[in-house]
């Protein structure tokens, strides 16, 4: 299957909202190809906005910047939450709906495209502190305690700031709940992976036809799924 990607710019509208405009890229969405093409040929703000409004791209030539598009579609637009981390979750959901392996967002401050693997955590880590994150609340750096004083207390083994100390029972209970939620999340993730794969498969067939899959066996689809998940989880 192709290495898909989301290409996006985030701009402020008249109402003060941060709006994501995104384009779907079908082939060679990895940084060594699409990333090179974007930063070599579409690194100026006007060019970046134009490419994010393209809607659909089959392939973007890294040598010439030429756009090959088998279909004509409108770009997607979404109003993002004010909070940086919540905004990255929405961007991830949009990219996931495309079956995208990578996300490219334009940094207007640095006049540069930044790439990330398509996961919320990866995007938060990659875009935090950049011009992309500066457009949102909480995007400059990780939240810190207002009171940075500490107390030497055997009941405060984590050295939490004064006023934020919790007793051991509460901490153990929260730790249990965290582990239980993690267990539930991991099992849900298995179902979510199949759902994401099927969505990407349907999108691929819708855009490019079913010819590539007509002779697929059950083992072929299983192998295709494993490759898809392996690529999304990181090389």
pLDDT tens digits for 18-30?
Answer: 999 999 999 999 9
In a domain, residue 36? The reply is yes
Where in the sequence is the domain holding 36, given as residue range(s)?
5-135
Query: What is the pTM assigned to this prediction?
Result: 0.62
Task: State the alpha helices, DSSP H only, in the chain.
Answer: 36-41, 45-52, 84-98, 120-127, 168-208, 218-233
| pLDDT grade for 45, boundaries at 50, 70 and 90 | very high
Same domain for 118 and 17?
Answer: yes
- On whether the CB atoms of residues 135 and 12 are closer than 8 A, the answer is yes
pLDDT in the model for residue 160: 39
Q: Which residues contact 88 (CB under 8 A, 6 or more apart)?
A: 120, 123, 124, 127
Same domain for 104 and 215?
Answer: no
**67 against 141, higher pLDDT:** 67
Judged against a pLDDT cut of 50, whether residue 156 lies above it is answered with no
pLDDT tens digits for 202-228?
Answer: 777 777 777 777 777 776 777 777 777
Same domain for 108 and 10?
Answer: yes
pLDDT in the model for residue 235: 44
* Number of domains into which the chain is organized: 2
User: Scanning the structure block, which residue is given the tokens 């207390």?
Assistant: 153
Same domain for 109 and 213?
Answer: no
- On whether the CB atoms of residues 24 and 94 are closer than 8 A, the answer is no
Judged against a pLDDT cut of 70, whether residue 65 lies above it is answered with yes
Same domain for 174 and 131?
Answer: no
Same domain for 129 and 177?
Answer: no
Instruction: Determine the average pLDDT of the residues in 135-143.
Output: 68
Same domain for 106 and 176?
Answer: no
pLDDT in the model for residue 155: 47
In a domain, residue 54? The reply is yes
Same domain for 96 and 199?
Answer: no
Judged against a pLDDT cut of 80, whether residue 33 lies above it is answered with yes
Task: Give SS3 for 16.
Answer: coil
């Amino acid at each position: 299957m192709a290495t898909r990607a989301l290409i996006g710019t985030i701009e402020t509208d008249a109402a003060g909202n941060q709006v994501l405009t995104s384009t779907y890229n079908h082939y060679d969405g990895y940084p060594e190809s699409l990333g090179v093409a974007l930063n070599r040929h579409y690194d100026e703000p006007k060019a970046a906005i134009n490419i994010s409004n393209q809607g659909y791209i089959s392939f973007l030539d890294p040598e010439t910047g030429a756009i090959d598009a088998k279909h004509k579609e409108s770009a997607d637009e979404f109003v993002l939450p004010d909070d940086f981390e919540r905004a990255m979750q929405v961007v991830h959901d949009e990219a996931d709906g495309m079956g995208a392996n990578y996300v490219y967002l334009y940094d207007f401050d640095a006049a540069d495209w930044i790439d990330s693997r398509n996961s919320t955590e990866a995007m938060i880590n990659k875009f935090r502190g950049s011009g992309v994150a500066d457009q949102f609340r909480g995007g400059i750096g990780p939240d810190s305690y207002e009171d940075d004083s500490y107390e030497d207390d055997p009941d405060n083994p984590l050295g939490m700031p004064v006023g934020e100390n919790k007793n051991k029972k509460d901490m153990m209970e929260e730790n249990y709940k965290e582990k239980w939620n993690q267990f539930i999340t991991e099992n849900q993730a298995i179902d979510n992976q199949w759902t994401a794969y099927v969505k990407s498969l349907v999108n691929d067939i819708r855009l490019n036809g079913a010819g590539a899959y007509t002779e697929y066996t059950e083992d072929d689809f299983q192998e295709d799924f494993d490759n898809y998940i392996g690529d999304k989880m990181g090389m």
